[in-house]
Protein backbone atom coordinates (compact mmCIF):
# COMPACT_ATOMS: atom_id res chain seq x y z
CA UNK A 1 0.00 0.00 0.00
CA UNK A 2 1.04 3.59 -0.46
CA UNK A 3 1.62 6.12 2.29
CA UNK A 4 -1.96 7.38 2.07
CA UNK A 5 -4.22 4.71 3.65
CA UNK A 6 -7.30 5.85 1.79
CA UNK A 7 -6.74 6.46 -1.88
CA UNK A 8 -9.22 8.75 -3.60
CA UNK A 9 -12.31 6.95 -4.86
CA UNK A 10 -12.28 6.43 -8.60
CA UNK A 11 -15.71 6.93 -10.14
CA UNK A 12 -16.24 5.75 -13.69
CA UNK A 13 -19.22 6.55 -15.87
CA UNK A 14 -22.19 4.20 -15.47
CA UNK A 15 -23.61 2.51 -18.55
CA UNK A 16 -26.42 0.04 -18.07
CA UNK A 17 -25.98 -1.60 -21.47
CA UNK A 18 -23.03 -2.69 -23.52
CA UNK A 19 -22.65 -2.10 -27.24
CA UNK A 20 -24.86 -5.10 -28.03
CA UNK A 21 -27.75 -3.78 -25.94
CA UNK A 22 -27.24 -6.43 -23.22
CA UNK A 23 -28.05 -5.31 -19.68
CA UNK A 24 -24.90 -5.03 -17.60
CA UNK A 25 -24.25 -5.86 -13.96
CA UNK A 26 -22.55 -2.69 -12.72
CA UNK A 27 -19.99 -3.35 -10.00
CA UNK A 28 -18.04 -1.28 -7.47
CA UNK A 29 -14.74 -2.62 -6.09
CA UNK A 30 -13.93 -1.65 -2.50
CA UNK A 31 -10.47 -2.77 -1.37
CA UNK A 32 -7.53 -0.84 0.04
CA UNK A 33 -5.02 -2.80 -2.06
CA UNK A 34 -4.69 -1.32 -5.54
CA UNK A 35 -3.20 -4.54 -6.94
CA UNK A 36 -6.21 -6.53 -5.73
CA UNK A 37 -8.59 -4.09 -7.37
CA UNK A 38 -6.57 -4.17 -10.60
CA UNK A 39 -6.67 -7.96 -10.73
CA UNK A 40 -10.42 -8.12 -10.17
CA UNK A 41 -11.01 -5.28 -12.62
CA UNK A 42 -9.07 -7.12 -15.34
CA UNK A 43 -10.95 -10.34 -14.62
CA UNK A 44 -14.36 -8.71 -14.84
CA UNK A 45 -13.43 -6.72 -17.95
CA UNK A 46 -13.31 -10.03 -19.80
CA UNK A 47 -16.80 -11.04 -18.64
CA UNK A 48 -19.74 -10.23 -20.93
CA UNK A 49 -22.48 -8.49 -18.98
CA UNK A 50 -20.25 -7.23 -16.15
CA UNK A 51 -18.68 -3.80 -15.78
CA UNK A 52 -16.66 -2.11 -13.03
CA UNK A 53 -18.14 1.38 -12.64
CA UNK A 54 -16.22 2.57 -9.57
CA UNK A 55 -13.48 1.81 -7.09
CA UNK A 56 -12.84 2.72 -3.46
CA UNK A 57 -10.11 2.11 -0.91
CA UNK A 58 -12.01 2.66 2.34
CA UNK A 59 -15.49 2.16 3.75
CA UNK A 60 -16.24 5.86 3.51
CA UNK A 61 -15.04 5.99 -0.10
CA UNK A 62 -17.25 3.01 -0.91
CA UNK A 63 -20.34 4.85 0.34
CA UNK A 64 -19.47 7.91 -1.77
CA UNK A 65 -18.81 5.85 -4.91
CA UNK A 66 -22.08 3.94 -4.52
CA UNK A 67 -23.98 7.22 -4.21
CA UNK A 68 -22.40 8.46 -7.44
CA UNK A 69 -22.49 5.32 -9.57
CA UNK A 70 -25.60 3.47 -8.28
CA UNK A 71 -24.15 -0.02 -8.92
CA UNK A 72 -25.92 -3.35 -8.78
CA UNK A 73 -23.22 -5.15 -6.78
CA UNK A 74 -20.39 -4.07 -4.47
CA UNK A 75 -17.37 -6.31 -3.89
CA UNK A 76 -16.38 -5.29 -0.36
CA UNK A 77 -13.16 -6.06 1.48
CA UNK A 78 -13.73 -6.72 5.19
CA UNK A 79 -10.59 -4.97 6.42
CA UNK A 80 -10.23 -1.43 5.12
CA UNK A 81 -9.31 1.89 6.75
CA UNK A 82 -12.05 3.91 8.41
CA UNK A 83 -15.37 2.22 9.10
CA UNK A 84 -14.26 -0.94 7.28
CA UNK A 85 -16.30 -3.47 5.35
CA UNK A 86 -18.79 -4.30 8.11
CA UNK A 87 -19.60 -0.66 8.78
CA UNK A 88 -19.84 0.20 5.10
CA UNK A 89 -22.10 -2.79 4.43
CA UNK A 90 -24.40 -1.86 7.29
CA UNK A 91 -24.71 1.73 6.03
CA UNK A 92 -25.19 0.67 2.40
CA UNK A 93 -28.03 -1.67 3.33
CA UNK A 94 -29.82 1.20 5.05
CA UNK A 95 -29.18 3.88 2.42
CA UNK A 96 -29.20 1.75 -0.77
CA UNK A 97 -31.17 -1.45 -0.06
CA UNK A 98 -31.24 -2.26 -3.78
CA UNK A 99 -27.43 -2.65 -3.88
CA UNK A 100 -26.12 -6.15 -3.15
CA UNK A 101 -22.87 -6.58 -1.22
CA UNK A 102 -20.45 -9.47 -1.65
CA UNK A 103 -17.65 -9.58 0.89
CA UNK A 104 -14.36 -10.66 -0.65
CA UNK A 105 -11.59 -11.08 1.90
CA UNK A 106 -8.68 -13.18 3.12
CA UNK A 107 -10.66 -13.98 6.27
CA UNK A 108 -12.08 -17.49 6.09
CA UNK A 109 -13.08 -18.20 9.68
CA UNK A 110 -16.47 -19.90 9.90
CA UNK A 111 -17.85 -17.42 12.46
CA UNK A 112 -17.41 -14.38 10.19
CA UNK A 113 -20.08 -15.00 7.49
CA UNK A 114 -22.95 -14.85 9.98
CA UNK A 115 -21.68 -11.44 11.13
CA UNK A 116 -21.63 -10.23 7.54
CA UNK A 117 -25.04 -11.61 6.64
CA UNK A 118 -26.46 -9.93 9.75
CA UNK A 119 -24.95 -6.66 8.50
CA UNK A 120 -26.71 -7.23 5.19
CA UNK A 121 -24.10 -8.83 2.92
CA UNK A 122 -25.56 -11.18 0.30
CA UNK A 123 -22.38 -13.08 -0.50
CA UNK A 124 -19.12 -14.19 1.07
CA UNK A 125 -15.99 -15.24 -0.79
CA UNK A 126 -12.35 -15.64 0.14
CA UNK A 127 -9.73 -13.96 -2.03
CA UNK A 128 -8.33 -17.40 -2.83
CA UNK A 129 -11.48 -18.49 -4.65
CA UNK A 130 -11.25 -19.46 -8.35
CA UNK A 131 -12.06 -16.63 -10.79
CA UNK A 132 -15.07 -18.52 -12.14
CA UNK A 133 -16.53 -18.71 -8.63
CA UNK A 134 -16.31 -14.93 -8.25
CA UNK A 135 -18.15 -14.47 -11.55
CA UNK A 136 -20.78 -17.03 -10.51
CA UNK A 137 -21.27 -15.34 -7.13
CA UNK A 138 -21.80 -11.92 -8.73
CA UNK A 139 -24.43 -13.32 -11.10
CA UNK A 140 -26.25 -15.20 -8.33
CA UNK A 141 -26.28 -12.29 -5.89
CA UNK A 142 -27.42 -9.90 -8.62
CA UNK A 143 -30.34 -12.26 -9.30
CA UNK A 144 -31.43 -12.01 -5.65
CA UNK A 145 -29.81 -15.12 -4.19
CA UNK A 146 -27.29 -15.38 -1.36
CA UNK A 147 -23.90 -16.95 -2.01
CA UNK A 148 -21.22 -18.44 0.22
CA UNK A 149 -17.97 -19.87 -1.12
CA UNK A 150 -17.99 -23.61 -1.79
CA UNK A 151 -14.91 -24.14 0.39
CA UNK A 152 -16.47 -22.36 3.34
CA UNK A 153 -19.83 -24.05 2.83
CA UNK A 154 -18.10 -27.43 3.05
CA UNK A 155 -16.34 -26.40 6.25
CA UNK A 156 -19.59 -25.18 7.78
CA UNK A 157 -21.35 -28.42 6.85
CA UNK A 158 -18.56 -30.42 8.46
CA UNK A 159 -18.76 -28.33 11.62
CA UNK A 160 -22.53 -28.83 11.77
CA UNK A 161 -22.09 -32.58 11.46
CA UNK A 162 -19.62 -32.48 14.36
CA UNK A 163 -21.87 -30.41 16.57
CA UNK A 164 -21.11 -26.94 15.30
CA UNK A 165 -18.55 -24.32 16.17
CA UNK A 166 -17.49 -24.43 19.83
CA UNK A 167 -17.34 -20.64 20.18
CA UNK A 168 -20.18 -18.52 18.82
CA UNK A 169 -19.49 -15.45 20.94
CA UNK A 170 -18.59 -13.33 17.91
CA UNK A 171 -22.09 -13.92 16.57
CA UNK A 172 -23.52 -12.37 19.74
CA UNK A 173 -21.95 -9.00 18.91
CA UNK A 174 -24.16 -6.39 17.30
CA UNK A 175 -22.91 -4.90 14.01
CA UNK A 176 -21.76 -1.76 15.87
CA UNK A 177 -19.99 -3.80 18.57
CA UNK A 178 -18.22 -5.84 15.90
CA UNK A 179 -17.19 -2.63 14.14
CA UNK A 180 -15.77 -1.15 17.34
CA UNK A 181 -13.97 -4.42 18.08
CA UNK A 182 -12.22 -4.34 14.72
CA UNK A 183 -11.12 -0.73 15.16
CA UNK A 184 -9.86 -1.36 18.71
CA UNK A 185 -7.84 -4.35 17.57
CA UNK A 186 -6.37 -2.21 14.79
CA UNK A 187 -4.86 -0.06 17.53
CA UNK A 188 -7.17 2.93 17.12
CA UNK A 189 -7.71 5.22 20.12
CA UNK A 190 -11.17 5.90 21.53
CA UNK A 191 -11.19 9.46 20.17
CA UNK A 192 -10.21 8.27 16.68
CA UNK A 193 -13.00 5.67 16.71
CA UNK A 194 -15.37 8.33 17.99
CA UNK A 195 -14.49 10.70 15.15
CA UNK A 196 -14.74 7.98 12.49
CA UNK A 197 -18.10 6.60 13.64
CA UNK A 198 -19.61 9.95 14.66
CA UNK A 199 -20.18 8.69 18.19
CA UNK A 200 -19.24 10.25 21.50
CA UNK A 201 -16.13 8.85 23.24
CA UNK A 202 -18.40 7.71 26.09
CA UNK A 203 -20.57 5.72 23.68
CA UNK A 204 -17.50 4.13 22.06
CA UNK A 205 -16.21 3.14 25.51
CA UNK A 206 -19.59 1.60 26.31
CA UNK A 207 -19.47 -0.51 23.14
CA UNK A 208 -15.87 -1.49 23.92
CA UNK A 209 -16.75 -2.78 27.38
CA UNK A 210 -19.79 -4.61 26.01
CA UNK A 211 -17.43 -6.39 23.61
CA UNK A 212 -15.09 -7.26 26.50
CA UNK A 213 -18.01 -8.67 28.47
CA UNK A 214 -19.48 -10.71 25.60
CA UNK A 215 -16.14 -12.17 24.52
CA UNK A 216 -14.82 -12.76 28.02
CA UNK A 217 -11.68 -10.62 27.70
CA UNK A 218 -10.28 -8.00 30.07
CA UNK A 219 -8.34 -5.57 27.88
CA UNK A 220 -7.37 -4.58 24.33
CA UNK A 221 -4.45 -7.01 24.19
CA UNK A 222 -6.66 -9.97 25.09
CA UNK A 223 -9.25 -8.75 22.61
CA UNK A 224 -6.68 -8.64 19.81
CA UNK A 225 -5.44 -12.12 20.64
CA UNK A 226 -9.03 -13.36 20.61
CA UNK A 227 -9.61 -11.75 17.20
CA UNK A 228 -6.47 -13.35 15.76
CA UNK A 229 -7.31 -16.79 17.14
CA UNK A 230 -10.79 -16.61 15.61
CA UNK A 231 -9.62 -15.60 12.15
CA UNK A 232 -10.68 -11.95 12.23
CA UNK A 233 -7.12 -10.92 11.44
CA UNK A 234 -4.28 -12.51 9.51
CA UNK A 235 -0.73 -13.39 10.42
CA UNK A 236 0.44 -9.77 10.22
CA UNK A 237 -0.87 -9.22 13.77
CA UNK A 238 0.37 -12.50 15.21
CA UNK A 239 3.14 -10.79 17.21
CA UNK A 240 0.61 -9.21 19.60
pLDDT tens for each residue of 83-106? 778 788 888 888 998 999 998 877
Cβ burial of 233 (10 Å; 0-12, 13-18, 19+) is buried
CATH number among 3.40.50.2300, 3.40.1280.10, 2.60.40.1120, 3.40.50.1820, domain 10-158: 3.40.50.2300
In 3D space, the residue among 77, 82, 162, 88 whose CA is nearest the CA of residue 119 turns out to be: 88
pLDDT tens for each residue of 155-210? 555 545 544 455 567 778 887 888 888 888 877 889 988 988 889 999 999 999 99
- Report helix angle 220-229 to 175-185, nearest 10: 100
In 3D space, the residue among 144, 96, 154 whose CA is nearest the CA of residue 123 turns out to be: 144
In 3D space, the residue among 141, 148, 106, 153 whose CA is nearest the CA of residue 126 turns out to be: 106
Q: Where are the domains of the chain?
A: 10-158, 169-234
In 3D space, the residue among 131, 111, 123, 121 whose CA is nearest the CA of residue 231 turns out to be: 111
Q: What kind of architecture, by CATH, is found in domain 169-234?
A: Orthogonal Bundle (1.10)
Amino acid sequence: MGSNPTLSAICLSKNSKNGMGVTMINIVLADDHELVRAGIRNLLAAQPGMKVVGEASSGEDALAVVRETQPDVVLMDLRMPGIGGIGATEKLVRSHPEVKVIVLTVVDQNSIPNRLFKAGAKGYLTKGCPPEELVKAIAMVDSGKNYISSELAQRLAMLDSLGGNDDKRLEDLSPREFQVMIMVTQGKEIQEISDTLNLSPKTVSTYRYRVFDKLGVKNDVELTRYAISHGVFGDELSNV
